[in-house]
Structure 1
Amino acid sequence: MYLGIDLGGTNIAAGLVDDNCKIIRKNSVPAGRTRPFHEIVKDMIELSQKIIKEEGLEDSDVEKIGIASPGIANNEKGEIVYASSFPDFRNAPVAKEFKKYFPESEVYLENDANAAAFGEMMAGAAKGKSNTVAVTLGTGVGGGIIIDKKIYSGFNNAGGEIGHKVIVCDGLECECGRRGCWEMYASGSALIRQTKEAAKANPQSLINIITNGNLEKINGKMVFDAADKGDVTANEVISKYIKYISVGIVDIINVFRPGVIVIGGGISGQGERLLSPLREHAQRESYGSVDMKTEIVAATLGNDAGIIGAAMLWRQSK
């Protein structure tokens, strides 16, 4: 039996996973991310023990434990080196703390986006593919790179930050300090910002009617709903937004040539409305486009990807 823990900015989620990458029991608790390290780890451990007990197992029945965390994770040292959303996590010895309670279990650590990508490869949209890039369009743009069925973390475990490649020189300022980062144009947050700006500039737009004039209500789904009803402004926003995503996707294809690119995040729920134009752009713009074989698909595991990927991290050594 394997245990996967996904340390998120809002919740800590954990689940027991079997040999077939199926979650047999899971639960979550609030993360309380601004709290001291030892308090958060205590909650992670107690949540894990609760799930194990509810399944009628002993702690010693868990062979492997995987922990997915935001930021930089050093698996060799068993530390979360840095996680911007968890201020007290600086070279945090997470594995050491877990070994106190699970002395017979092997403990693995990985960046959350990488773990989610690994989960999609093991049991989701990229199952059966050796080379995969997962792109998550959320608050920012996260990414996980799988090469020959192993996570690519780069030097110092800090690689794979695809959301921070520049697509607009001297563009919008990103929280990372650079300008023009991909996530400033292709994230779910970016779509909401772009929709608000367009609605303000075009008061006749259906977007203003859907929101009753309160643009703070805007979410990613609303602009697609307005576009489906024929709203010109909404269609223009979506067209431009998809082009921004496409620019980054084509860059990924040209550099890595993965067998599949998996698109995750809430916006991926738009399905072919999003994916079809992405494929068309990739086919047209990727280098040697006549031979472009990379599939572009939506993620299928949702929030379970991190749990499954974390629980299965040990399989990279197989």
Structure 2
Amino acid sequence: MKGVIGIDVGGTKIAFGAVSPAGDIILRRTIATHPDDSFDQGIARLSIGVEALLGDVGWDVKEIGGIGIGCPGPVDTEKGVILSVYTLPGWSNRAFAAPMSERFAGTPVRLENDANAALLGEAFAGAAKGKKSAVMLTLGTGVGGAVLIDGKIHVGAGGAHPELGHIPALVDGPECPCGIRGCYEIIASGPAIAEAGAAVGLTGSEEVFTAAAEGHEGAQEIIARVAKATETAVWTILHTFLPDILLFGGGIADGHWPLFEAAARKSLAAATLARDEPVTIARATLGNDAGVVGAASLVL
């Protein structure tokens, strides 16, 4: 076996990686996600991406150990089915692993939630390596979360994963599509920050961060709300899971790490944790590669 293929399906882009048995990315390629694609179109796009990557890296399909895929939403890892994913509606409740395997000569294909895959990547070759318990928050197009307990990804009833983006973080916050007000995701995700920014004449989440740094009062209020929501979410996570390490990943957290680190450390300093060893607050070290490496680890 020369290696495996790891795929990280996001709300705006899909990353493909040819990964060595040691977890090193040998070659990486990215294409745009087409969220309105039908299921068959989605399978076709993934297949074309894998075929192109195999050609570029010089591997035959018979030389790989499998294909691991991390994707948004809850998944049935045993059946290889995406149960529900609002960012890719055409892919919901469809058997995903089997048709991908058929396209690649019966190569094993494993499916996992994208946040779980990112934490698996950090546990395999990143900041959480060697840790028995860890929690990871990923802030980007949405807010995802994953939990590692005794070295294994925590799986809930029916195979569901923790929805840490739906921790109630601000009582008077905006209404989330889930029906609750003030969920962490509806305040701290990229689209949520952008929507709040639009109300004060700003375009996109990055313009909100830039304007806040330049003294724009409306932008500063938005970022202060993100920080406060982060403090509340972290407080809840620390007291619920008592992890060895709390990781932040995703484009929003990675690009604005000082904000999230300060909020997390503020909650940690005030936490009532009965333990000798302090919780480590850290930025995911694999960055945008965490999902690819984690997906690859599913078949290593």
Could you say whether these structures have the same fold, taking a TM-score greater than 0.5 normalized by the shorter chain as the test? yes
Q: How much has 1:134 moved relative to structure 2?
A: 1.1
Note the 1:59-138 alignment, pairs <5 A.
59-138=61-140
Q: Tell me the secondary structure at the aligned position of residue 83 of structure 2.
A: strand
Q: How much has 1:289 moved relative to structure 2?
A: 7.0
Aligned residues: 297
Q: Tell me the secondary structure at the aligned position of residue 217 of structure 1.
A: coil
Q: Tell me the equivalent position of 2:284.
A: 299
In structure 2, C-alpha distance between the alignment counterparts of 1:86 and 1:107, rounded to whole Å: 20
Q: Tell me the equivalent position of 1:280.
A: 266
Q: 1:237 to 1:67 in 2, by over 3 A?
A: closer
Could you report, residue by residue, the CA deviation over 1:262-293 in whole angstroms, capped at 9, with x for unpaired residues? 11233322333431342123211x22378571
Could you report, residue by residue, the CA deviation over 1:35-59 in whole angstroms, capped at 9, with x for unpaired residues? 2211211221222122112222210
Q: 1:280 to 1:177 in 2, by over 3 A?
A: closer
Q: How much has 1:120 moved relative to structure 2?
A: 1.8
Q: Are the aligned partners of 2:42 and 2:91 in contact in 1 as well (CA < 8 Å)?
A: no
In structure 2, C-alpha distance between the alignment counterparts of 1:266 and 1:94, rounded to whole Å: 26
Q: Tell me the secondary structure at the aligned position of residue 12 of structure 1.
A: strand
Q: Which moved more, 1:23-32 or 1:65-74?
A: 23-32
Could you report, residue by residue, the CA deviation over 1:145-186 in whole angstroms, capped at 9, with x for unpaired residues? 122222212111222111112234464211122222122233
Q: Which residue among 40, 52, 55 is the counterpart of 1:53? A: 55
Q: Tell me the equivalent position of 2:298.
A: 313
Matched AA of 1:102:
F
Q: Tell me the equivalent position of 1:152.
A: 154
Matched AA of 1:71:
G
Q: Are the aligned partners of 1:283 and 1:292 in contact in 2 as well (CA < 8 Å)?
A: no
Q: Are the aligned partners of 1:80 and 1:91 in contact in 2 as well (CA < 8 Å)?
A: yes
Could you report, residue by residue, the CA deviation over 1:121-154 in whole angstroms, capped at 9, with x for unpaired residues? 2222322222111112223321111222222121
In structure 1, C-alpha distance between the alignment counterparts of 2:189 and 2:265, rounded to whole Å: 18
Q: Tell me the equivalent position of 2:165.
A: 163
Q: Are the aligned partners of 1:4 and 1:308 in contact in 2 as well (CA < 8 Å)?
A: yes
Q: Tell me the secondary structure at the aligned position of residue 253 of structure 1.
A: helix
Q: Tell me the equivalent position of 1:207.
A: none
Q: Tell me the secondary structure at the aligned position of residue 118 of structure 2.
A: helix
Q: 1:233 to 1:82 in 2, by over 3 A?
A: closer
Q: Are the aligned partners of 2:173 and 2:187 in contact in 1 as well (CA < 8 Å)?
A: no
Q: Tell me the secondary structure at the aligned position of residue 20 of structure 1.
A: coil
Matched AA of 1:126:
A
In structure 1, C-alpha distance between the alignment counterparts of 2:138 and 2:15, rounded to whole Å: 18
Q: 1:59 to 1:278 in 2, by over 3 A?
A: same
The structure that has the greater radius of gyration is: 1
In structure 2, C-alpha distance between the alignment counterparts of 1:192 and 1:289, rounded to whole Å: 39
Q: Tell me the equivalent position of 1:25.
A: 27
In structure 2, C-alpha distance between the alignment counterparts of 1:4 and 1:38, rounded to whole Å: 20
Matched AA of 1:100:
E
In structure 2, C-alpha distance between the alignment counterparts of 1:30 and 1:191, rounded to whole Å: 22
Q: Tell me the secondary structure at the aligned position of residue 62 of structure 2.
A: helix
Q: Which moved more, 1:115-124 or 1:232-241?
A: 232-241
Q: How much has 1:195 moved relative to structure 2?
A: 5.0
Q: Tell me the equivalent position of 1:252.
A: 237
Q: 1:96 to 1:149 in 2, by over 3 A?
A: same
Q: Tell me the secondary structure at the aligned position of residue 89 of structure 2.
A: coil
Which runs of no fewer than 5 residues in structure 2 stay unpaired? none
Note the 1:119-268 alignment, pairs <5 A.
119-169=121-171, 171-195=173-197, 200=200, 215-220=201-206, 222-226=207-211, 228=213, 237-268=222-253
Note the 1:35-54 alignment, pairs <5 A.
35-54=37-56
Q: Tell me the equivalent position of 1:209.
A: none
Q: Which moved more, 1:253-262 or 1:30-39?
A: 30-39
Q: Tell me the equivalent position of 2:10.
A: 8
- Give TM-score, length-normalised by structure 1: 0.83
